[in-house]
Structure 1
Amino acid sequence: MTSTSGNSGISQAFKQVGGEVDYYGLMQQIHRFRLIPLACALVFTTSYGWAQTAASPTAPSRKPATESAISEGELFYETLLGEITTRTGDPGAGYALILDAARRSGSAQLYQRAADIALQSRSGEYALAAAKAWKEDQPQSRDANRYVLQILIALNQVSETTEPLQQFLRQTPLPNRVGVLTAIPQMYARVSDKAAAAKVVQEAISTELSSPSLSSAGWITVGRMQLAAGNKTAAMDALTKAHAADASNDGQARLALDLMEEGNKDAEPFVTRFLQQPNASEIRMLYARVLLGQSRFAEAVEQLTRTTQEKPDLAEAWLLLASLQAQNQQLVQAEQSLSRFLELAQNTSEPLSNARVLEQAYLLGAQIAEKRGDVPAAQEWLKRIDNAEDSFSVQRMRASLLARQGRMPEARVLLRNIPERNAEAQRMKLLAEAQLLKDNQLYEEAYKIQADLLKQNPEDNDLAYEQAMLAEKAGKLDVMESLLRGIIQRQPDYHHAYNALGYSLADRGIKLQEAKRLILKALEFAPDDPFISDSLAWVEFRLGNKAEAQRLLKAAFEKKPDAEIAAHWGEVLWSQGDTEKAKSVWREGLRLNPDNTTLKETLKRLGVSL
């Protein structure tokens, strides 16, 4: 990559450098004179482009003082001329004038102004030349060094940043150095060669890594740089060293959580050990979110419940807990948690009380009411949302309520009339309509809509997966199998496809060994997913391994109480002669979802009346 490849990121990078500079502070004490001669001189000024007029990026530093002396009047003249030239459309000439004035006067403000002119014109190399000239003139200037460092990073010249980064740290007061270390990964976030950046940073902060007060923060920085580079082993090693240096640093818990999200199980003990410390509620919240992402629902609920106990005024925890409770059909508890969230949101100035979050809360209230079959209450929740007509989620919820009342044509018209701002909005509308039809068991019509979407996006594996699920519901098993095998071929780590195909084969009692291999492959990618464990249990049951199936289903249901898992677990218990336990499990499944098709069909097939 060429050295100018980072120019487009220069402006963004310098948002991190500092605030506006008083470019004219130097001139406030200079007499304002020669304006008429200056105006005359400007008439004869010729504009040139950057390549012709600007100082060379590798131009030498300022001349010795005897050759570069400049009077106040000359400084004022040259500076003002540079400013006017810049503002009248020739930044290259303006840059050259300002940089020359900076070199001759030794003014930090003019060096900075020259660099800023180049930055505003996306001329990274010229900005770097000005910053380097400034630093050479004033080697101990924190601002000059900071400009050099940030421009080098923005230009992807990572290998040259070691010394500027070391100086940046040396010049930072010791009490503030932890904060600087913490910010380093963000400073390098946009570089293209993440591995080179990780190597440079570790070398640059070697002194901090051996300091008792800074070692933990330093190793966390190294870990984050290595994780960004995709080196999970090195990141894990850095995490271990950070923990050894200071187990109370919440940065190591956050790094461990990020490693968990990348599938590293070895990082989890670092989180759980940190949670034993006081004031760990924020980390507990983040841990709950990671558990949710891993489909570890019961554990997520446990962590959120503990968070609300430890910090009962943390509104976000109550909202997330309410959402999980609603998913688990714990509707009374969900309403209580939601009520607590709203109470806290009304009495805080924190961002949680903003309209977007309140909309999510009101939608959750509507969903809870819908689950209870109380359509009027759900509609009242929706009325509390400001600008509801502009919210896709609200319109989708209204369509669901219409369908529940047997007004499916109106529901579909409502969705189709939602304005389309772009192609993605159109896609979302069609997906919402397909889901609405699927929820109401109109599988053939949903299949047709999904098929049209897939024709427009034949390589979209998520669309293909949903189409496969609808094909199965519509009785098109050959289409389903073909779609799922196509997904696996295109994206070998798409674990949902392995699971769905394996389960379908097991449910039909065919190709059971292949079904088991497919499901085990899915578990390699998502070992904690209770629904994949349910699939494995079902194939074990079909293979005659009832005890193993019963064990797997019990564990899966404990992780995620779900009506379909209950249907399978109950059938396994029933086949083992434990009819009372089976009925108890099925009753719990009906409580969770009385409309679950698998559960209802299981009871009908076995002739069970509850």
Structure 2
Amino acid sequence: MHALALHLARGVQLARPGTSAPASNPSHQRSTLRPVAVAALALTLSVLWPIQAKAQDAPALPDPPVANSEMDAELFYQLLLGEMHLRNEEPGPAYSLVLDAARKTQREELYRRAVEIALQGRAGNAALSAARDWATAHPRSDEPHRYVLQILLALNRPAEITQTLRTLIQLAPPERRADVIGAIPQTLARTGDKAAALQAARAALQPFLADPATASAAWTCLGRMQLDQQNNADALASAKQAMTADSQAVMPAVLGLELMERDQPGAEALVRSFLERNGREAQRPLHLGFIRALIDQRQYGPARQEIATVIQQDPKLADAWLLQGTLQFQERLYDAAQASLEQYLVLARELPAEAARRGQTQAFLQLAQMAEQRKDYAAANAWLDRIEDGQDILSTQLRRAAMLARQGKVGEARALLRQQPERSPDDSRRKLLAEAQLLRDQGMHQAASEVYAEAVKRFPDDADLVYEQAMAAEKAGRPDEMERLLRELIARKPDYHHAYNALGYSLADRNVRLPEAKALIQQALRATPNDPFILDSLGWVEFRMGNLPEALRILQDAYRRRPDAEIAAHLGEVHWVKGQREDALKVWREGLLLNPDNETLLSTLRRLNVKP
């Protein structure tokens, strides 16, 4: 063992160079200094003198040659004093002493220790200074640059990260650079100034956008950050650039799929072209995601064709049968849906338990709901009884509560929901939302409004709950209360575009303050230019203002983007008023097929005394 380490192990105090040890009670010295000495020993041995301990039963070997440490007594004392300051909750002097030692020795371990001390003391600028010194001393080490990046983000200074990002990419081996680039969006996701982060990332990526080996990853990175800022059109342009750079790269297509889910025009064509070029069978996970997106957008015809292709290619692929059952369920083809879902359950037995769990729960819930539609409540409960996973218990009980409400047992349904245990705040939120929804389904809008008010009280920062509370107030016949809640929500969260749309639509539907209604809807549309439901609102206000050709154009666009019963109600009425009766009847029939219980569509048909 090194002589200095041996002194420490014996509890001997080292005096500072140029002084003598204080003459005091030795036992007192040991009890005061031994913990510090042990801490210093752990630090110095782990940093500067790694020693392999010999096993007691190992054969005796000659002692290796003594290797003198780079540390002299003065440097050792400096480190020891720094640790003592830290132990006495004096991080400032500790940081200064350790950072000075790091600069003298250029040891990475000491730079790291200085950064850690500053971070423990919540001195962000000091930590940044030490990390930058470390990066300067060791420019080929990626660790100090990672510290610099994380500290700058914690200090909300994303504009300064450009060079650090570029250096981290350059330090990665060529075969890993695309992975490093791909991690950038998640790394920067929590920064407050997203525009500055995007600008810095774009500047950092410039050389990699031009490099064929990294261009696709770099463009995808920018597209993902643009998507995070809801710049959907820019994100699609970046995805196209990425796919042009590498037509076989899957991540640009995944980005396109996410844009497709946000109704971005051109995204579906991007994903479809990738699948056609690279083969649906070879890109099965992406293909299944594409089908799910088609179903979510109610593009049932194209979805049906895609599923048929999958099942023909691989009839034992369980997820294909689950998708087919889900599609048939949404199309209200209940007998066919039941057969598909039962086939899925047979095939799912061969899947790993964790992989099958979510799909099985989905299948059981849909089968239960179909039995409920037939008013076969015993069969519905039997399907729910087959859901065994504890994580799905709440979903099961929510479905049971909905069945009780459907049978007129609203009190029992609410009691069942209220008695469910809550493992997380999200469980509490789900319970309240489910209770409010079953009350709305029963036309008990005042009671639903009260439940939403309770939810808002428990989750005051949840904008979605305030929005739902406002919608319930309108249904309860209190439009002034709805307007007050929505205006408060807009004042508190100006970028919450749903509030602008809802308020504008409500004014248009009541045929009051139409110019204001149009301005509110246009404000919402600026946030999401292709949202079919906001387009529906705009078309409806144009109709109320007497602009029938413009109303028809907008509503046809909305219905093309999202076939929906409520949009069908409005589009049909415009056709009807224009004298295009057959067109109106055709659209209304389609709307009834989509949702025969839609309140807006049914009230429109009653008001116009039409039976399509």
Q: TM-score range by the shorter chain?
A: 0.5 to 0.7
Distance 1:338 1:164, change over 3 A: same
Which residue is 1:274 aligned to? 274
Which residue is 1:433 aligned to? 435
Cα deviation for residue 531 of structure 1 reads: 9.9
What amino acid is aligned across from residue 170 of structure 1 in structure 2?
Answer: Q
Which residue is 1:377 aligned to? 379
What amino acid is aligned across from residue 180 of structure 2 in structure 1?
Answer: V
Cα deviation for residue 198 of structure 1 reads: 3.1
Q: Is the 8 A contact 1:195 1:226 kept in 2?
A: no
What amino acid is aligned across from residue 405 of structure 1 in structure 2?
Answer: Q
Q: Compare 430-439 and 383-392 and name the one that shifted more.
A: 383-392
Which residue is 2:221 aligned to? 221
Cα deviation for residue 180 of structure 1 reads: 1.6
Which residue is 1:169 aligned to? 169
Cα deviation for residue 34 of structure 1 reads: 0.7
Cα deviation for residue 361 of structure 1 reads: 4.2
Q: Is the 8 A contact 2:148 2:164 kept in 1?
A: yes
How many Å separate the matches in 1 of 2:513 and 2:137? 77
Cα deviation for residue 340 of structure 1 reads: 4.8
Q: Is the 8 A contact 2:257 2:271 kept in 1?
A: yes
1:208 maps onto 2:181 in alignment: no
Which residue is 2:396 aligned to? 394
How many Å separate the matches in 2 of 1:264 and 1:71? 63
Q: Compare 451-460 and 407-416 and name the one that shifted more.
A: 451-460
What amino acid is aligned across from residue 482 of structure 2 in structure 1?
Answer: L
Which residue is 1:33 aligned to? 6
Cα deviation for residue 377 of structure 1 reads: 1.7
Distance 1:591 1:177, change over 3 A: closer
How many Å separate the matches in 2 of 1:455 and 1:156? 31
How many Å separate the matches in 2 of 1:195 and 1:350? 43
What amino acid is aligned across from residue 487 of structure 1 in structure 2?
Answer: L
- What whole-Å deviation, never above 9, does each CA across 1:387-436 have from its counterpart, x for those lacking one? 76994433222222223334333223323334568988666545433322
Cα deviation for residue 379 of structure 1 reads: 0.8
Cα deviation for residue 99 of structure 1 reads: 4.2
Cα deviation for residue 211 of structure 1 reads: 1.9
How many Å separate the matches in 1 of 2:420 and 2:78? 60
Which residue is 2:116 aligned to? 116
Q: Is the 8 A contact 1:116 1:127 kept in 2?
A: yes
1 or 2 for the larger relative contact order (CA 8 Å, sep ≥6)?
A: 1
How many Å separate the matches in 2 of 1:554 and 1:263? 12
What amino acid is aligned across from residue 352 of structure 1 in structure 2?
Answer: A
Distance 1:241 1:401, change over 3 A: closer
Which residue is 1:132 aligned to? 132
Distance 1:395 1:96, change over 3 A: same
Distance 1:565 1:219, change over 3 A: closer
Which residue is 2:414 aligned to? 412
Cα deviation for residue 234 of structure 1 reads: 5.7
- What whole-Å deviation, never above 9, does each CA across 1:250-271 have from its counterpart, x for those lacking one? 3333444455566653555433
What amino acid is aligned across from residue 381 of structure 1 in structure 2?
Answer: W
TM-score by length of 2: 0.68
Cα deviation for residue 178 of structure 1 reads: 1.4
Q: Is the 8 A contact 1:296 1:529 kept in 2?
A: no
Distance 1:277 1:601, change over 3 A: same
How many Å separate the matches in 2 of 1:459 and 1:85? 42
TM-score by length of 1: 0.68
Q: Is the 8 A contact 1:403 1:411 kept in 2?
A: yes
How many Å separate the matches in 1 of 2:175 and 2:9? 53
Distance 1:123 1:345, change over 3 A: farther
What amino acid is aligned across from residue 395 of structure 1 in structure 2?
Answer: Q
What is the correspondence of 1:168-317 to structure 2 with a 5 Å cutoff? 168-226=168-226, 228=228, 235=235, 238-258=238-258, 264-265=264-265, 267-278=267-278, 279-287=282-290, 295-298=297-300, 301-302=303-304, 305=307, 308-309=310-311
Cα deviation for residue 383 of structure 1 reads: 1.7
Cα deviation for residue 226 of structure 1 reads: 4.9
Q: Is the 8 A contact 2:361 2:392 kept in 1?
A: no
Which residue is 2:369 aligned to? 367
Distance 1:271 1:511, change over 3 A: same
Distance 1:375 1:350, change over 3 A: closer
How many Å separate the matches in 1 of 2:488 and 2:233? 29
SS of the counterpart of 2:218?
helix
1:338 maps onto 2:336 in alignment: no
Which residue is 2:56 aligned to? none
Distance 1:112 1:260, change over 3 A: same
How many Å separate the matches in 1 of 2:305 and 2:197? 36
- What whole-Å deviation, never above 9, does each CA across 1:223-268 have from its counterpart, x for those lacking one? 4445556666765554454343223323333444455566653555
How many Å separate the matches in 1 of 2:587 and 2:293? 32
Which residue is 1:55 aligned to? none
Distance 1:528 1:303, change over 3 A: farther
Distance 1:99 1:527, change over 3 A: closer
Cα deviation for residue 590 of structure 1 reads: 7.0
How many Å separate the matches in 2 of 1:456 and 1:99? 48
What amino acid is aligned across from residue 397 of structure 1 in structure 2?
Answer: R
1:529 maps onto 2:532 in alignment: yes
Which residue is 1:326 aligned to? 329
How many Å separate the matches in 2 of 1:96 and 1:538? 67
Q: Is the 8 A contact 2:145 2:168 kept in 1?
A: yes
Distance 1:223 1:443, change over 3 A: closer
- What whole-Å deviation, never above 9, does each CA across 1:469-497 have from its counterpart, x for those lacking one? 656766x3xx3477358737964933244
What amino acid is aligned across from residue 183 of structure 1 in structure 2?
Answer: A
Aligned pairs, how many? 553
How many Å separate the matches in 1 of 2:230 and 2:537? 32
Q: Is the 8 A contact 1:178 1:217 kept in 2?
A: yes
What amino acid is aligned across from residue 400 of structure 2 in structure 1?
Answer: R
Which residue is 1:16 aligned to? none
How many Å separate the matches in 2 of 1:601 and 1:83? 77
Which residue is 1:9 aligned to? none
1:352 pairs, out of 341, 352, 355, with: 355
How many Å separate the matches in 1 of 2:408 and 2:572? 33
How many Å separate the matches in 1 of 2:285 and 2:525? 30
SS of the counterpart of 1:33?
helix
Q: Is the 8 A contact 1:132 1:148 kept in 2?
A: yes
How many Å separate the matches in 1 of 2:445 and 2:190? 46
How many Å separate the matches in 1 of 2:464 and 2:35? 56
- What whole-Å deviation, never above 9, does each CA across 1:528-571 have from its counterpart, x for those lacking one? 6379759958996998989x979968994995475995899699
- What whole-Å deviation, never above 9, does each CA across 1:154-210 have from its counterpart, x for those lacking one? 444445544443333333221222112222233333333333333333333333222
Q: Is the 8 A contact 2:184 2:221 kept in 1?
A: yes
Q: Is the 8 A contact 2:79 2:97 kept in 1?
A: yes
SS of the counterpart of 2:165?
helix
How many Å separate the matches in 1 of 2:150 and 2:454? 49
Q: Is the 8 A contact 1:239 1:255 kept in 2?
A: yes
Q: Is the 8 A contact 1:531 1:565 kept in 2?
A: no
Q: Is the 8 A contact 2:300 2:327 kept in 1?
A: no
What is the correspondence of 1:515-554 to structure 2 with a 5 Å cutoff? 527=530, 529=532, 533=536
Distance 1:502 1:29, change over 3 A: farther
CA RMSD after TM alignment:
5.5
How many Å separate the matches in 1 of 2:236 and 2:580? 46
